Amino acid sequence: MKKTRKPQLAVIGAGPAGLGAALAASGAGLRDVMLIERDFELGGILPQCIHDGFGSIVFKEVMTGPEYAQRFVEEIRRTDVEIMLNTMVLDMGPDMRITAVNDREGIVEIEPESIVLAMGCRERTRHQVMLPGFRPAGVITAGAAQRDINIEGLMPGRKIVILGSGDIGLIMARRFTLEGARVEGVYELMDHPGGITRNVVQCLRDFEIPLHLSHTVSFIHGRKRVEAVTVAEVDADLKPRKETERFVPCDTLCLSVGLIPENELSKHAGIQLDPVTAGPFVDERMETTVDGIFACGNVVNVFDLVDYVTHSAQVAGRGAAEYVLQGRKRQSPVKVVAGRNVKYVVPQFVSDLNRDVDFYFRVEHPERAVTARILADGKPLAGKKHKMVRPPEMLKQTTEALDVSTGEKTRELTVEVIPGGE
């Protein structure tokens, strides 16, 4: 009978979130931290993100994905964090029992004192956005295409149509072009780009790749390999308008139509998920609804910047350490409400108002000259003016120790974006 492993903390996933959490926990005094990763190397999705734009907040410099990951990899090698590569977590129960497998030890049973979930997210597929047509080879998600090209050295196509202007789609439009493929155009369902402005400029405009807003793919042609797609403008209900349909020959349809936090394990563990973010409800320490299980990074909600992923990971790692070392019990949580032009806020609860809290939130629709602010029972606490806010760009607002500053017990927090700003 194999011995069950009993670390102080098990971190599931060694992308930027898992690396950041394991390091923070180790730095906060946990001696026995286990970092579990299913891939053969550390870094998660970062090694395939060979474009720049990482680290401007955390390291105050502009780095590529592999460079950003390498900083953490080097740092973690200097700690006593146990790294388990090529190890897949098969299940996780409500009692925090983890079952994992690898090819060296076989089935590994782990009963940690605390857990940080850092599984990241997956890409939405063609069926999840209900794209009609045939099912030929050549329909690929942008992240998968990025892996093929940047890590595996394989080209998934020559003549590309991209659906969705999320950041990965924009990055891949440029990447495909640099690799000698022809990108026919990027088509976006909404009337605004899905990715951040920097990427629209640097990946499309600079390469003269057309962006067609309020458009979708209405049919995929080709029995064996993609031969063409039909594209069309959409009406107010986002349905294709037949009279605007155009036939666009191509051999590849690359999809950048959204990311979904990967929470299958979380569900098995009985963690409650927020229907808006599709990630766990968390409090200011990134603790989920199950005591001792924390979550950070894109498993909680899809962040726009890796720097924020790292921040949330550091909070979760320190939270887990505090939980293990001090056994701190949670106080009754205060709900954080998404107010005017706010789609959602993370964390959704605050248990301890006597500390600084970072709130991350997204707006529902683009708006000019606004103030984003946080209210405690209707009283404004902190606010910041913005020239322009857009759904793809996450907003961050920090509050200082609340109950200390207001001097009374807070019952509800609200985050809102209101007109009036720069």
Q: Which stretches of the chain bind other proteins, using CB under 8 A? A: 2, 38, 86, 88, 90, 99, 101-107, 122-123, 125-128, 130, 132-137, 140-141, 143-144, 147-149, 152-158, 178-180, 218-220, 223-225, 240, 264, 267
Q: Which of 235, 271, 225 is nearest to 115 (CA)?
A: 271
Q: Which of 169, 159, 209 is nearest to 189 (CA)?
A: 169
In sequence order, which residues have a C-beta less than 8 Å from that of residue 94 and are 6 or more positions away? 268, 269, 270, 290
Write down the least CB distance from residue 415 to other proteins, Å. 25
Write down the least CB distance from residue 17 to other proteins, Å. 17
Write down the least CB distance from residue 104 to other proteins, Å. 7
Nearer to other proteins, 187 or 360 (CB): 187
Nearer to other proteins, 123 or 287 (CB): 123
Nearer to other proteins, 301 or 399 (CB): 301
Nearer to other proteins, 31 or 158 (CB): 158
Nearer to other proteins, 128 or 354 (CB): 128
Write down the least CB distance from residue 96 to other proteins, Å. 17
**Checking phi first, is residue 86 left (phi over 0); if not, alpha (psi -120 to 50) or beta?**
left
Write down the least CB distance from residue 126 to other proteins, Å. 8
Q: Going by DSSP bridges, is the β-strand pair 52-54/63-64 parallel, antiparallel, or unpaired?
A: antiparallel
Distances (CA, A) of 383 to 153, 368, 370: 47, 16, 10
Write down the least CB distance from residue 196 to other proteins, Å. 23
Q: Which of 335, 336, 363, 358 is nearest to 421 (CA)?
A: 363
Q: Which two tokens stand for residue 121?
A: 């997210």
Write down the least CB distance from residue 106 to other proteins, Å. 4
Write down the least CB distance from residue 109 to other proteins, Å. 8
Alpha carbon distance 380, 375 (integer Å)? 4
In sequence order, which residues have a C-beta less than 8 Å from that of residue 201 and are 6 or more positions away? none
Q: Which of 273, 229, 224, 269 is nearest to 253 (CA)?
A: 229
Write down the least CB distance from residue 306 to other proteins, Å. 19
Alpha carbon distance 393, 299 (integer Å)? 18
Helix (H/G/I), strand (E/B), else coil: 234: strand
DSSP code string of 339-374: -TT--EEESSEES--SS-EEEEEE-SS-EEEEEEEE
AA letter at 175: R
Alpha carbon distance 414, 322 (integer Å)? 27
List strand residue ranges (DSSP E) for 281-356, in order: 293-295, 334-338, 344-346, 349-350
Nearer to other proteins, 149 or 209 (CB): 149
Nearer to other proteins, 123 or 284 (CB): 123
**Checking phi first, is residue 138 left (phi over 0); if not, alpha (psi -120 to 50) or beta?**
left
Nearer to other proteins, 260 or 337 (CB): 260
Nearer to other proteins, 180 or 407 (CB): 180
Any idea which residue has 């790294």 for tokens? Answer: 83
